[in-house]
Amino acid sequence: MGDEALQQKLGGAIRARRAQLGLSQEQFADQIGMHRAYYSKVERGEQNLTLATLGRVLDGLGARFSQLFKEAGL
């Protein structure tokens, strides 16, 4: 699987989790201290995340790495 496909699958799983929380991209990005435009790229799979940044997203979602990767089909 290529990097782009991996990022897109992960971004889709992040988007689904955020939507389940009933938060807009802007609300969620503010909550985790991230710029909305950057966060939007994460959800679209256009931004390669560092582990530290992914950790911030996961904390905000209340999820674990293993859960999110499973939901993304990775």
pLDDT digits (tens, 9 = 90+) for 12-60: 999 999 999 999 999 999 999 999 999 999 999 999 989 999 999 999 9
Give residue 32's pLDDT. Answer: 96
Q: Are 74 and 10 in contact (CB under 8 A)?
A: yes
Q: Give the largest CA-CA distance in the chain.
A: 32
pTM recorded for the entire structure: 0.90
Q: Which helix H or strand E contains 35, and what residues bound it?
A: none
- Asked whether the predicted pLDDT for residue 3 surpasses 80, the reply is no
Asked if the 3-71 domain carries CATH number 3.40.630.40, the reply is no
For 39-57, letters b (16+ CB in 10 Å) and e give: bbbbbebeeebeeebeeeb
Count other Cβ atoms within 10 Å, centred on residue 58: 17
